[in-house]
Structure 1
Amino acid sequence: MEGSAALGQERVDKLLWRYSVPAMIGMVVNALYNIVDSIFVGNGVGEFALAAVAIAFPVMIILMGFGMLIGVGAGSLVSIRMGEGRKEDAEKILGNAFTLSVLCAIVLSAIILPFLDPVLQLLGAEPNILPYARDFTKVILWGSLFMYVGFGLNSIVRAQGDPKIAMATMLISAGINVVLNPLFIFYFQLGITGSALATVIAQMVASVWIILHFLRKKSYLRLKNQYMALDFTVVFQIIKTGASPFLMQIAASVVNVLFNHSLLLYGGEIAVACIGVITRIGMLLLMPIFGISQGAQPIIGYNYGARSYNRVIEAVRRASYAASALSLAGFLVVQFFSESIVGVFNQNAEFIAIGAKGLRLFLLLLPVIGFQVIGANYFQAVGKAQYAIFFSMSRQVIILIPMLLLLPPLFGLNGAWAAAPLADLGSFLLTGYFLFKEIRTLRQSETL
């Protein structure tokens, strides 16, 4: 209980540091093992395998989208309920989130697996890429249960005031993956199947660890049988609150498909392999920003529930400054060291040339993304899902998809890369406008 009480009493800057640093470490390590995966796949299996992972990525995004629907939705609600002093309701959300995670994994795998080849072909898998994409995605789908449970419950661990436990979960998963990946790919010669198998085993161990945490008495919230039966009022609240990141992931999957098709048309299979690497580099640079966002979420949600609006405003302000500084640093690294970064994944000269230019263009407006992420997260944290959904869809659907349809026919491969920063700019302007309006309303409410 000490952790949850501190959310309303301790200095905001100290809280943000204490909650954000473990989240940042966990998420950066998580992104690093995805980077390491790609390095092992690119150097141990080849460019076709890298392209296969990029082709399969939209499927993985959809799976993660459902995980975020449950995990982020439940985590936001738990923070608010704890701020309101409603522990039993928070435990009911935890139990329902666990059951939803299991059901989602079973249903989605049962739907996708029988039609896996047609799905991958629709996503752009050419005959020489399809076998790799099939082997990789099949294993990921069979093991998706562990991804759902691990991600969903870990969001609630952070929300209840245990950021170090949440960090440990991610470190466990990442550590096991990094050890098993080269072992399966190089020693056992399992190729891309080995990479997927390493990921699933790592997620399995992490999910068992997080379940055990919620069964221990020292956890403030407990996983109890009586709360695992689905309460459809609770389910609706979880889905409503988590709809923004879910829709963002679904839209990202559609965007990924359009990217793959555009890149295949204007840059060939090497360009498709490059986007897989570029998205992983982008995620690595964004993970510290998402860590700050996740660290701020329980602080914002708890104090919003407790009507301590000045603390909410301070948390948003400090998180925005920190996220913007990190996004600027990431931008400078990309612009000055793009060739060296891309070259780590594969030494093919054409791959490096296409990938380095794509990386610089794709992340051209990285400096504004930090503020945009924190702004969207504010609306998520306080339960105003409609705003968060709008911001998510504005980037992925309203701006990015039209850009992907218009720019590549006019400017070729450069047009495909340039679509992303234009979408980032539009989303930044929209988020800023609505967030400043919201902050003004909070200030007025605090003075009443």
Structure 2
Amino acid sequence: MSMQEQEKENEQKQDQAYKSETTNDSAHELHDAQDKTKRMGSEPIPKLLAQFSIPAVIAMLVNAIYNIVDRIFIGKFVGEDALAGLTISFPVMMIIFAFAGLVGIGSSALMSIHLGKRDFKGVNQIFGNMITFGTLVTGATLSIIFINLDGIMNLFGATPDIITYASDYMRIILMGFIFQMYAFCLNGAVRTEGHPMLSMTTMLLSAITNIILDYIFIVNLGWGVQGAAIATISGQLTGLLFLLRFYFSGNSVVKLQPHDFIPRLSVFKNITSIGVSSFVTQLGTSVAMTFLNRGLGQYGGVGAITSMGAINSLFTLFIMPMIGLQQGLQPIIGYNHGAKSFDRVKGALKLGLTVSMLFSTVIFIALQVFPRVFISAFLDPTSETVDVAVKGLRIFILMLPLLGINILGTGFFQSIAKGHIAIMLGAMRQFIFLLPLVIILPQFFGLTGVWMATPIADAISILATAIALLYHFKETPSLAQEA
């Protein structure tokens, strides 16, 4: 019996064993759900990438709107000190989002691989443990941060002028973060199951809710940063309820039993081994942002910190499509890796990198040519801070055209369960390259040195990621060789 025939026989046995545990009606629903995942191993890669990445890109753009809308309303209707407060709170938010990435991204990648193997019982177990793990992690993390919030905000660079804004915003965000954790995890799961449009719709609902409530709470009611925070968590709750309706409808490939929620250390370990690279990257970003904010405050004052708020919002907005592309690739790469279709894995990554570089190059040109137009969306065009922000933006984005290599490359290694490589790449950028540069360069170049640290770290990280990818594909057999 050939290897392909043996694998096919194993798949059929797994399907039959799993379906025997369900009723006839639920088995029929499960078959329909499974058909949606099978197409990831058969349809043309360009078609799949469009089907999965376009909704994911739209969803991530919408996700960026959460932070951007808050900053636009705060900058325009509350003031620059309040915007600086939100900038200081961003590294703390990155820490708690790092835990969401640890659980959500790790679980989704693991589910994709098991779907490629047709191991549906394993998918159920991973999903149930994702919910349990997310609940435990959120409770522990938020308890620690909430109790020590003011001290943490001071540690992250808050000055007396802005600490009240930062703390008021973060207290409300922390109280509602459990909604964000669950929404993030379930969004990744529905994409993995082959429902990218559902994920996009969820994000749109969340963003629309956030924008409407931002206007009501900040402009009409004058609730300031607290209104922005309430609007954010209300939007996340709206998206979560929409996702829960899908899972309770019976249309999911996931068919949970109570025992699937029982914590299993082996599942936690596997989720963590894949998701920890996202955690390290996010944590490193938080630490780096802290040193960036301190350097900005030391060499440029509150105006430089405020400028960073506008720059980071723009950078996030235009990075999100690349992260959306990464998320669209993840189920395709994970499924085909699990099915040992290595040529399809390579083709998907190459196409993703091409699209990413074309998009980011266009955005880079637009930001370099019209920086003042973009910055003025967040700041008063007549403010002196605009000039500081324009100079900082032009330096900060210098490596944007090639940044997709690092983003998609790191996501690729997560998708094939090589978390140790993804961890290395994430840690190298944040801790080995960026942090020393943030500390050393300002001593020679002042405020310009603070802006320079990010593109230099990006350049080294891009090179390291490219080398890792080339080595991986050199060592990986093609589909023909496997056969």
Superposition TM-score tier, normalisation by shorter sequence: over 0.9
- Is the aligned partner of 1:431 residue 2:465? yes
Instruction: List per-residue Cα deviations over 1:347-379 (Å, max 9, x = no partner).
Output: 142211011111110011101101221111111
Query: Is the 2:53–2:325 contact (alpha carbons within 8 Å) kept by the matching residues of 1?
Result: yes
Please tell me whether the aligned partners of residues 88 and 293 of structure 2 are also in contact (alpha carbons under 8 angstroms). Answer: yes
Q: Following the alignment from structure 1 to structure 2, what is the Cα–Cα distance between the partners of residues 117 and 393?
A: 28
Please list, as runs of the form range in 1=range in 2, the aligned pairs for 1:331-410 lying within 5 A after superposition.
331-347=364-380, 348-410=382-444
The Cα of 1:225 is off from its aligned counterpart by 2.7
- Tell me whether 437-446 or 64-73 shows the greater mean CA deviation: 437-446
The match for 1:192 among 225, 240, 247 is 225
Matched position secondary structure for 2:168:
helix
Distance 1:208 1:257 in 2: 34
Residue 160 of structure 2 aligns to a residue whose secondary structure is coil
After TM superposition, the structure 1 = structure 2 runs for residues 136-175 of structure 1, keeping only pairs within 5 Å, are 136-175=169-208
CA contact (8 A) 1:309 1:446 kept: no
- 1:256 maps to which residue? 289
Partner of 1:121: 154
- Structure-2 change in CA distance of 1:446 and 1:48 (3 Å): farther
- How far apart in 1 are the matches of 2:108 and 2:313? 25
Quick check: which has more Rg, 1 or 2?
2
Q: Which moves more between the two structures, 105-114 or 261-270? A: 105-114
Task: State the AA in 2 paired with 1:178.
Answer: I
TM-fit CA distance, 1:445? 6.3
2:473 maps to a residue whose letter is I
Is contact 1:326-1:370 (8 Å) kept?
Answer: no
Deviation at 1:444, TM superposition (A): 4.8
Larger displacement relative to structure 2 (340-349 or 236-245): 340-349
- The answer for the alignment partner of 1:238 in structure 2 is 271
Instruction: State yes or no: 1:288 paired with 2:321.
Output: yes
**Whole-Å Cα distance in 2 between the matches of residues 151 and 200 of structure 1?**
13
1:223 Cα deviation (Å)?
4.3
> Unaligned stretches of 5+ in structure 2?
1-33
Q: How far apart in 2 are the matches of 1:313 and 1:335?
A: 33
Of residues 388-397 and 348-357 in structure 1, the stretch that sits farther from structure 2 once superposed is 348-357
Which residue type is aligned with residue 88 of structure 1?
A: K
CA contact (8 A) 1:97 1:153 kept: no
SS in 1 for 2:370: helix
Query: 1:21 aligned to 54, 74, 98, which one?
Result: 54
Q: How far, CA to CA, are the matches of 1:229 and 1:276 in structure 2?
A: 42
Q: How far apart are 1:224 and its partner, in Å?
A: 3.9
Following superposition, the deviation at residue 214 of structure 1 comes to 1.7
Return the alpha-carbon distance in structure 2 between the equivalents of residues 358 and 308 of structure 1.
45
In the alignment, what sits opposite 2:72? 39
Q: 1:445 to 1:310 in 2, by over 3 A?
A: closer
**Superposition RMSD on alpha carbons, in Å?**
1.1
The residue aligned with 1:77 is 110
Separation in structure 1 between the aligned mates of residue 230 and residue 303 of structure 2, nearest angstrom? 25
Query: Percentage identity across aligned positions?
Result: 36
Give the AA of the match of 2:424: F
Aligned pair in 2 of structure 1 residues 244, 446: CA closer, same or farther (>3 Å)? farther
Please name the residue that 2:452 is paired with: 418
1:395–1:424 CA contact under 8 A, matched in 2? yes
Q: Tell me if 1:206 matches 2:239.
A: yes
Q: Aligned AA for 2:377?
A: V
- Asked if the contact 1:243/1:389 (under 8 Å) is kept, the reply is yes
Equivalent residue for 1:86, pick from 89, 113, 119 = 119
Q: State whether structure 2 residue 321 is matched by structure 1 residue 273.
A: no
Whether 1:301 aligns to 2:334 is yes
Letter in 2 for 1:357: K
Rounded Cα–Cα distance in structure 1 between residues aligned with 2:71 and 2:419? 34
Q: 1:56 aligns with which of 73, 89, 95?
A: 89
Q: Deviations over 1:104-125 (max 9, x none)?
A: 2222221111211111111111
Gaps of 5+ in 1: none
**Distance in 2 (alpha carbons) for counterparts of 1:101 and 1:333:** 39
Letter in 2 for 1:283: T
Distance in 1, Cα, partners of 2:195 & 2:79 = 41
Q: For the Cα contact (< 8 Å) 2:66–2:232, is it kept in 1? A: no
Q: Give, as a single letter, the amino acid of the residue that structure 1 aligns with 2:351.
A: R
1-structure distance, mates of 2:137, 2:76: 34
User: Residue in 2 aligned with 1:134?
Assistant: 167
Structure 1 partner of 2:44:
11
Deviation at 1:37, TM superposition (A): 1.5
- 3-state SS in 1 of match to 2:476: helix
Task: Report the Cα distance in structure 2 between the residues aligned to 1:209 and 1:59, rounded to whole angstroms.
Answer: 28
Deviation at 1:2, TM superposition (A): 2.1
Distance 2:116 2:427 in 1: 29
